[in-house]
Amino acid sequence: MASVFARKAALRKEMLRTLRQIPEEALATQSAAVARVLAGQEWYTSAKTVGCYLSMARGELRTHDIVADLLDKGKVVYTPYLPPSAATGEDNLMHMYRLYSSEDHAGCPTDKWGILDPGTKRYDVEGDREDAMDPAAPGLDVILVPGVAFDANCNRLGRGKAFYDRFLATYTAQRKRPLLMALALEPQLVDDVPVTPNDFTLDGVVSPGGVVWRDGKSKA
């Protein structure tokens, strides 16, 4: 197991260096290409409830236009939220809070990493955000997942904090498992991602070149 973690750390370091070096123009072009691929996928267009990360300013596939499109189409959208205590290791459970409207999206400030931060309060009207874990919340149909690297078997390498793995373990213990689809830039597709038994396997990976499915066919 120690060798797996060492391989993960080495690949993560290499990939993060590669991602930081991607030119802005290439980042924008590939992000737009992924958005076009998504628009042609039935599992995406038919989903009523979608979880999607809010991207960093650099080194990550941009999701601003994807989130804006989902909201414009009337989808129920949830985005990841980490409480301030996560920075100190006191509360490592990621939440998925609802983003309600284009106005709500536009009102979100950015944090120190350049990521939009919706927080726990709405920006379009006064009120709290709905937690996807709330029993009254609709089930998530799809989660668009970030990561550092992915392989053809739909294994995922994250940033090493296991936020998504813990959230998915908690969520799927109570609710139906959503379709788990990664969004990837071209350099993030690698030959092999080392994994442990606690790592969630994705259903598919969406890149500028199209969709790769874990078993070669759609789960939708």
Contact 50, 144 (CB under 8 A): yes
The answer to whether 156 is a known ligand-binding residue is: yes
Task: Judge contact between 94 and 129, C-beta under 8 A.
Answer: no
The answer to whether the beta carbons of residues 13 and 196 sit under 8 Å apart is: no
- Sequence letter at residue 31: S
**Strand pairing category for 204-207 and 149-150:** unpaired
Q: Is 157 annotated as a binding residue?
A: yes
Q: How many residues does the chain have?
A: 220
Q: H-type helices in the chain, by residue range? A: 2-20, 24-39, 42-45, 64-72, 102-107, 163-172
The upper half-sphere exposure of residue 35, i.e. CA atoms within 13 Å in the direction of its Cβ, equals 16
158 is in an annotated binding site: yes
Q: Is 159 annotated as a binding residue?
A: yes
44 annotated as a binding-site residue = no
163 labeled part of a ligand binding site? yes
Cα 161 to Cα 12, 69, 71, 144: the distances in Å are 12, 29, 29, 18
Q: Would you say 10 is a known binding-site residue?
A: yes
DSSP category for residue 92: -
Question: Does residue 54 have a known ligand-binding role?
Answer: yes
CA distance 80 to 214: 24
9 assigned to a ligand binding site: yes
Binding-site annotation: residue ranges for substrate: 54, 60
- Residues of each annotated binding site for ATP: 8-12, 156-164
Q: Binding-site residues, please?
A: 8-12, 54, 60, 156-164
